[in-house]
């Protein structure tokens, strides 16, 4: 098989696929690559290359330890940093930047170790100094392993499948559920059934046993109902429901137990809210032609904003939190054959899984643990980077905390129980990658230490860094900036600058607690299911759990007030004070962001909109319009139409998926937005009474019939300054109430005459200035307006005839309603002040509507009148 990816073989290592490289950077990178592809380098074996690299690293020791004067170090720092920042523009040269960053990092670490440990100024200083030092060592170690992990991002292409369906392996699709809403399961099961693969069988593995509740418990009845619904669902859709009579080992136990009952060669595991795209199996099964492959993992992707995006009001402006892992880290892991199982959206080989006794049950991150065991046996994993499932992110920060805490605990458990660094059977890179994965979750304590350190100095005069000053800065700044630049270069599409810090600050206290606990007692802790699919109506601040963070933020804020005292009382410590102040302000910005994550923002939309471009037909009044959805949810869609269009209130929509799925349903126009590019954006709400078939088809169209998810190619690029500003300015945005977008009514602007026919038989002519399918606008003298107002209070219906000109015959007679609310506005806004009296006397605009109930009878008639009034049919925004 071995179809080579289309990747350029000469492309630089240590880089993501180049897209923005400039000619100079390219020629430099190509030059270097070519140099190392010529003799004698091309004759070296892999081992020799590794040896050569180690030798080169050793030769660099003097670069790290060479001691120079402060000003000299300052100049060195400046030159190297500027160069590094310049290099960060070229992805292809990221490897160079990484090595440069490593060199300055080690130079800093050496300086920090040799000169700045404050161990002899008393025990308090010594403890603070050691803690900060260890925290920095943690940071350097994670930086190191992350550079290693992301040395090369493997972009895989899907291998072709055999043509004969009989040669295909049989695939079982598992959808483990616990107590989730049946509707959520339904969509996933639908998606699974719609998978484009001939030899598959879908199983719903329900762990929501009614008998886990005592008899008489109301929840037992609910669970029984739910189980029954699931049974019907499976019957209806053609999948198999598998249940068991205990809940041992939660999800892992559920899958293991199901494995004994099914017989597919491969198993696709889907979380119950992960709706698979149609091609999921077609794209992944081909990898299993290599007999050693035990798993193909695909990315998880959430179509709703995660709590960070939502609560920091950054949805759509920053990449979601898990993007970094699935777009970069797993690809890097894959290069080192250590991409690991993430619990869902992965196809695994049953025989190999059974070889190790099924999914691991000893830790709460059973997925990673399972792949560790299989890797130890020499099997291979594949990470296929195409997004193939759409899922739901935790909808509140609290549930995200639950999820993260579980991961942190599980990873710490793995580190403790089966330390990947010393595990037998793993290759060195695998050890490093697994170590990185597990060690990452220990960020809690270092993060807290970073926040506390400047506070200690400013408030209590405890100095964790001896001789903190410009010299320290001269060593630290290149380290910080270059490592940031190297990360920027690799992550600029998937993780914006400083957001990692916010994530870590927000979760620091939780993960610090569980990881420490898990280190001492790795057996503790059970599996908790991440709650999803809920929705929040109001702002809510979680005072209880954010107390530690509040305290930290308060201290940081307080320490700013100590600065003037420092400057007055010990002005000679200005360097230390300056650096601590900068550090503290930086911390404070991030802390404020982290704190605001705890402020749960209400969800504006009732259903999450997906930015999908689906072909849509709109039928109404015997006419059809062609459009493309801009975004769509289960409740409505935003459709882009060519030209400025006037649509009736009620329409019939026909929406087509990327392949064959389609749905046809009724919808009403909610909002019309004429665009300057001569398009019209129309918001539709789907009719509330959709049939089950319509709902199913809609779900398939939205979530399953997908050629490529729009999130596959991120469009936004990181801009560090903007990113920092976004975090720092969260507070300003967070306190503003979200406002729904304004609707603009598209009408024909005309100059015609309308006659109002009063109930008493009289008629009054009026000037007709604007009209559309829903209503019209008249300009009337004030006395007539007053009469209309009176009429609106008693019987808000009136007959009206429309004439193109005063002397011509009527084009049509219509019943209109008089909305009473407009007269209040008139009165409150236009007070009869002397200067305005004249204008008021002349003419006042009044809106009249065609009643919705009469739409079927009047609708086509109105349409005809519109064409007669304006041959060009060019609607405009009026009023």
Partner 1 sequence: MSFPRPHLRLARWLRAQQPRFRFRPLLIWGCLLLCSALAVVSVTQASAQNLDRSLEQRENQIIRQFSLPRPPSRPPVAPARRFAPPPVNPRAAPRPAEPKSTARQPASAQTPASAKASVSAQAKPKPNSSFTQVVQFNRSPVVGNRLRLEGPFAETRLAFTRPADWNVKSAEAVIRFRHSTALDSSESNLTVRVNDTSLGSFPLNLRDTNIGEARVPVPAGVLQDANEIAIIAQHKNATQNCTSADDLTLWTEVLPDSQLVFQYEAQPLALDFGRYPRPFFDPLNLGTSHLSYRVPTTLDGDWLTAAARFSAHLGRLAEFRPLDQSLIRSLSPLQSRLQQWGSIVIIGTPANQPDLKNLDLPFKLVGDQFLDGNGRALPPDVGVLVATTTGAEQYLPVLVASGNGPQGVAKAVQALVQSPDRAITTGEAVLIDRVDNIPTPSEQAWPGYLPPGNSLTLADLGIRRDVSLRGSNAPPLAINFRALPSEAFDPRHNTLTVRYSYGAQLDPRRSTIEVLLDGVSLGSRSLDSPTGDSRRSLSVTLPGNLIQPDSQLQIALRMRPQSATACTASADQQLVGTIHTDTSFELSRYESFELPDLALLRHGFPFAAPQDLSRTTLVLPESPSDAELELLLASAERLGRLSQAASVKLNAQTQNSLTPQIQAAQHLIALGSRARFPLPEALKANASSFDLGSSLSRLRGETRLQTLPDRQGVIAEALSPWNRERVLLTLTAQNEQGLRQVREFLRRDNRFFQVQGDTVLIDVDDQIKILNRQTPRRIERLNWAQQFTRFLAQNWYLLPFITVLSALLLFGISHAFVQRALPGRESL
Choose the stretch contacting partner 1; rule: CB under 8 A; options: 194-202, 329-337, 418-426, 769-777. Answer: 329-337
Hey, which residues between 119 and 138 contact partner 1 (CB under 8 A)?
120
Instruction: Tally helices (H) and strands (E) across the chain.
Output: 30, 24
Smallest separation, CB 134 to partner 1 (Å): 20
Query: Which three-class secondary structure state does DSSP give residue 134?
Result: helix
The only residue of 90, 108, 152, 340 in contact with partner 1, by rule CB under 8 A: 152
What are the tokens at 801? 């005839």
Smallest separation, CB 133 to partner 1 (Å): 16
Hey, which residues between 809 and 848 contact partner 1 (CB under 8 A)?
none
Cβ atoms of 444 and 507 closer than 8 Å: yes
Residue 27 or residue 842: which is nearer to partner 1 going by CB? 27
Binding status of residue 66 toward partner 1 by CB under 8 A: yes
Structure letter (DSSP) for residue 209:
-
Cβ atoms of 643 and 680 closer than 8 Å: yes
Hey, which residues between 405 and 434 contact partner 1 (CB under 8 A)?
427-428
Smallest separation, CB 462 to partner 1 (Å): 15
The only residue of 184, 223, 259, 382 in contact with partner 1, by rule CB under 8 A: 382
The only residue of 8, 20, 27, 68 in contact with partner 1, by rule CB under 8 A: 68
Residues 410, 483: Cα–Cα separation, whole Å: 28
Binding status of residue 80 toward partner 1 by CB under 8 A: yes
Other Cβ atoms less than 10 A from the Cβ of 54: the count is 10
The only residue of 8, 17, 24, 63 in contact with partner 1, by rule CB under 8 A: 63
The only residue of 96, 252, 512, 577 in contact with partner 1, by rule CB under 8 A: 96
Residue 160 or residue 856: which is nearer to partner 1 going by CB? 160
Hey, which residues between 665 and 694 contact partner 1 (CB under 8 A)?
none
Contacting residues for 309 by C-beta, under 8 A, at least 6 apart: 315, 316, 317, 318, 320, 321
Residue 395 annotated as catalytic: no
Query: HSE of 91 in the Cβ direction (CA atoms, 13 Å)?
Result: 17
The only residue of 16, 21, 25, 104 in contact with partner 1, by rule CB under 8 A: 104
CA distances 39 to 8, 26, 55, 702, Å, are 21, 22, 19, 55
Q: 643-657: string of b/e by CB count within 10 Å (b at 16+)?
A: ebbbbbebbebebbb
The only residue of 57, 134, 582, 626 in contact with partner 1, by rule CB under 8 A: 57
What are the tokens at 28? 């430099």
- Residue 779's beta-bridge partner residues? 767, 845
What are the tokens at 800? 């009206």
Residues 143, 500: Cα–Cα separation, whole Å: 13
Binding status of residue 18 toward partner 1 by CB under 8 A: no
Of 206, 207, 273, 705, the catalytic one is 207
Binding status of residue 2 toward partner 1 by CB under 8 A: yes
- The H or E element that residue 438 is part of is helix 428-439
The only residue of 19, 23, 35, 526 in contact with partner 1, by rule CB under 8 A: 35
The only residue of 59, 569, 721, 741 in contact with partner 1, by rule CB under 8 A: 59
- Residue 78's beta-bridge partner residues? none
Smallest separation, CB 55 to partner 1 (Å): 9
Q: Write each residue from 284 to 323 as x if it is in contact with partner 1 (CB under 8 A), else as -, in one continuous string.
A: ---x--x--x------------------------------
The DSSP annotation for 631-676 comes to EE-SSEEEEEEES-----SEEEEEEE-SSS-EEEEEEEEEEEEE-T
Binding status of residue 715 toward partner 1 by CB under 8 A: no
Hey, which residues between 430 and 489 contact partner 1 (CB under 8 A)?
none
Residue with tokens 């380290």: 479
Query: HSE of 602 in the Cβ direction (CA atoms, 13 Å)?
Result: 12
The DSSP annotation for 294-325 comes to EEEE----BSSPPHHHHHTT-TTTS--TTHHI
Other Cβ atoms less than 10 A from the Cβ of 530: the count is 17
Binding status of residue 162 toward partner 1 by CB under 8 A: no
Smallest separation, CB 365 to partner 1 (Å): 25
Smallest separation, CB 667 to partner 1 (Å): 47
Choose the stretch contacting partner 1; rule: CB under 8 A; options: 63-71, 311-319, 504-512, 622-630. Answer: 63-71
Residues 347, 268: Cα–Cα separation, whole Å: 4
- The H or E element that residue 389 is part of is strand 389-390
Contacting residues for 531 by C-beta, under 8 A, at least 6 apart: 394, 395, 399, 402
Binding status of residue 334 toward partner 1 by CB under 8 A: yes
The only residue of 8, 20, 75, 354 in contact with partner 1, by rule CB under 8 A: 75
Choose the stretch contacting partner 1; rule: CB under 8 A; options: 7-15, 448-456, 740-748, 861-869. Answer: 7-15
Contacting residues for 745 by C-beta, under 8 A, at least 6 apart: 672, 772, 774, 877, 878, 879
Total binding residues toward partner 1, as defined by CB under 8 A:
65
Smallest separation, CB 332 to partner 1 (Å): 11
Cβ atoms of 811 and 803 closer than 8 Å: yes
Smallest separation, CB 486 to partner 1 (Å): 11
Residue 95 or residue 657: which is nearer to partner 1 going by CB? 95
Residue 221 or residue 427: which is nearer to partner 1 going by CB? 427
Residue 367 annotated as catalytic: yes
What are the tokens at 60? 């660099």
Binding status of residue 37 toward partner 1 by CB under 8 A: yes
The only residue of 8, 17, 113, 114 in contact with partner 1, by rule CB under 8 A: 114
Residues 102, 106: Cα–Cα separation, whole Å: 6
Q: What are phi and psi of 610, to 5 degrees?
A: -110, 135
Residues 495, 552: Cα–Cα separation, whole Å: 25
Binding status of residue 103 toward partner 1 by CB under 8 A: yes
Residues 690, 696: Cα–Cα separation, whole Å: 10
Residue 104 or residue 272: which is nearer to partner 1 going by CB? 104
Of 125, 367, 395, 658, the catalytic one is 367
Binding status of residue 90 toward partner 1 by CB under 8 A: no
The only residue of 49, 626, 806, 830 in contact with partner 1, by rule CB under 8 A: 49
Residue 80 or residue 372: which is nearer to partner 1 going by CB? 80
Binding status of residue 46 toward partner 1 by CB under 8 A: yes
Q: Give the footprint of partner 1 on this chain (CB under 8 A).
A: 2, 4-5, 9, 12-14, 32-33, 35-37, 41-42, 44-47, 49-50, 52-53, 56-57, 59-63, 65-69, 72, 75-76, 79-80, 83, 93, 95-96, 99-100, 102-104, 114, 120, 151-152, 154, 156, 287, 290, 293, 334-337, 380, 382, 427-428
Catalogue the active-site residues: 207, 367
């Amino acid at each position: 098989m071995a179809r080579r990816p289309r990747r350029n073989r000469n492309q630089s290592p240590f880089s993501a696929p180049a897209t923005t490289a400039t000619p100079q950077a390219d020629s430099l990178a190509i030059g270097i690559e070519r140099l190392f592809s010529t003799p004698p380098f091309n004759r070296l074996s892999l081992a020799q290359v590794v040896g050569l690299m180690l030798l080169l690293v050793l030769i660099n020791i003097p670069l790290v330890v060479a001691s120079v004067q402060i000003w000299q170090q300052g100049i060195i720092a400046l030159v190297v940093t500027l160069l590094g920042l310049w290099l960060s523009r070229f992805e292809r040269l990221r490897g160079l930047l990484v090595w440069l960053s490593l060199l300055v990092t080690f130079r800093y670490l050496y300086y920090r170790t040799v000169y700045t440990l404050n161990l002899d100024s008393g025990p308090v200083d010594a403890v603070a100094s050691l803690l900060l030092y260890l925290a920095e060592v943690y940071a350097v170690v994670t930086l190191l392993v992350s550079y290693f992990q992301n040395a090369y991002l493997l972009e895989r292409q899907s291998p072709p499948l055999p043509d004969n369906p009989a040669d295909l392996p049989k695939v079982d699709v598992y959808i483990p559920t616990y107590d989730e809403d049946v509707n959520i399961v339904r969509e996933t099961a639908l998606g699974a059934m719609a998978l484009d693969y001939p030899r598959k069988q879908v199983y719903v593995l329900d762990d929501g046993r009614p008998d886990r509740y005592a008899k008489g418990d109301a929840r037992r009845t609910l669970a029984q109902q739910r189980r029954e619904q699931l049974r019907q669902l499976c019957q209806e859709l053609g999948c198999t429901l598998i249940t068991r009579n205990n809940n041992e080992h939660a999800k892992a136990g559920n899958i293991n137990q199901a494995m004994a009952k099914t017989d597919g060669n491969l198993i696709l595991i889907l979380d119950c809210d992960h709706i698979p795209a149609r091609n999921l199996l077609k794209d992944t099964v081909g990898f299993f032609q290599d007999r050693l492959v035990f798993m193909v993992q695909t990315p998880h992707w959430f179509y709703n904003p995660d709590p960070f995006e939502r609560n920091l009001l950054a949805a759509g402006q920053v990449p979601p939190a898990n993007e970094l892992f699935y777009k970069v880290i797993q690809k890097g892991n894959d290069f080192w054959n250590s991409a690991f199982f993430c619990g869902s959206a992965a196809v695994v080989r049953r025989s190999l899984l059974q070889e190790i006794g099924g999914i691991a049950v000893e830790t709460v991150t059973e997925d990673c643990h399972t792949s560790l065991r299989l890797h130890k046996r020499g099997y291979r994993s594949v990470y296929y980077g195409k997004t193939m499932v759409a899922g739901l992110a935790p909808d509140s920060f609290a549930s995200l905390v639950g999820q993260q805490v579980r991961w942190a605990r599980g990873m710490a458990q793995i580190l403790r129980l089966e330390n990947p660094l010393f595990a037998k059977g793993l290759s060195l890179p695998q050890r490093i990658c697994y170590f990185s994965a597990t060690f990452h979750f220990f960020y809690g304590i270092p993060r807290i230490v970073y926040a506390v350190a400047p506070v200690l100095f400013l408030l209590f005069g405890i100095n964790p860094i001896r001789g903190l000053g410009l010299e320290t800065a001269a060593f630290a700044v290149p380290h910080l900036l270059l490592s940031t630049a190297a990360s920027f270069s690799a992550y600029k599409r998937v993780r914006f600058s400083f957001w990692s810090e916010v994530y870590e600050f927000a979760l620091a206290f939780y993960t610090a607690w569980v990881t420490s606990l898990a280190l001492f007692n790795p057996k503790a802790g059970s599996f908790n299911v991440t709650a999803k699919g809920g929705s929040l109506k109001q702002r809510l601040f979680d005072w209880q759990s954010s107390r530690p963070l509040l305290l930290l933020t308060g201290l940081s804020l307080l320490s700013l007030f100590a600065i003037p005292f420092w400057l007055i009382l010990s002005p000679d410590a200005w360097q230390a004070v300056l650096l601590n102040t900068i550090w503290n302000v930086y911390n404070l910005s991030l802390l404020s962001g982290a704190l605001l994550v705890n402020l749960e923002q209400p969800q504006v939309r009732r259903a999450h909109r997906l930015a999908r471009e689906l072909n849509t037909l709109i039928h109404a009044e015997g006419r059809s319009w062609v459009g493309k959805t801009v975004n769509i949810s289960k409740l409505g869609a935003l459709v882009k139409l060519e030209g400025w269009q006037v649509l009736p209130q009620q329409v019939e929509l026909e929406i087509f998926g990327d392949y064959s799925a389609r749905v046809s349903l009724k919808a009403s126009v909610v909002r019309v937005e004429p665009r300057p590019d001569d398009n019209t954006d129309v918001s539709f709400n789907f009719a509330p009474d959709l049939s089950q078939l319509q709902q199913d088809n809609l779900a398939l169209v939205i979530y399953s019939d997908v050629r490529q998810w729009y999130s596959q190619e991120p469009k936004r690029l990181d801009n560090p300054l903007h990113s920092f500003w976004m975090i720092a300015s969260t507070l300003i945005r967070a306190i503003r109430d979200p406002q729904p977008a304004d609707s603009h009514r598209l009408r024909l602007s005309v100059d015609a005459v309308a006659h109002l026919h009063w109930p008493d038989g009289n008629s009054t002519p009026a000037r007709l200035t604007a009209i559309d399918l829903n209503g019209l606008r008249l300009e009337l003298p004030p006395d007539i307006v007053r009469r209309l107002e009176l009429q609106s209070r008693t019987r808000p219906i009136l007959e009206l005839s429309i004439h193109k000109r005063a002397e011509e015959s009527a084009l049509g007679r219509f019943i209109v309603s008089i909305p009473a609310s407009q007269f209040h506005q008139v009165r409150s806004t236009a007070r009869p002040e002397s200067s305005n009296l004249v204008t008021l006397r002349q003419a006042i605009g009044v809106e009249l509507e065609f009643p919705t109930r009469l739409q079927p009878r009047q609708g086509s008639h109105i349409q005809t009148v519109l064409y007669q009034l304006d041959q060009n049919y060019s609607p405009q925004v009026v009023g």
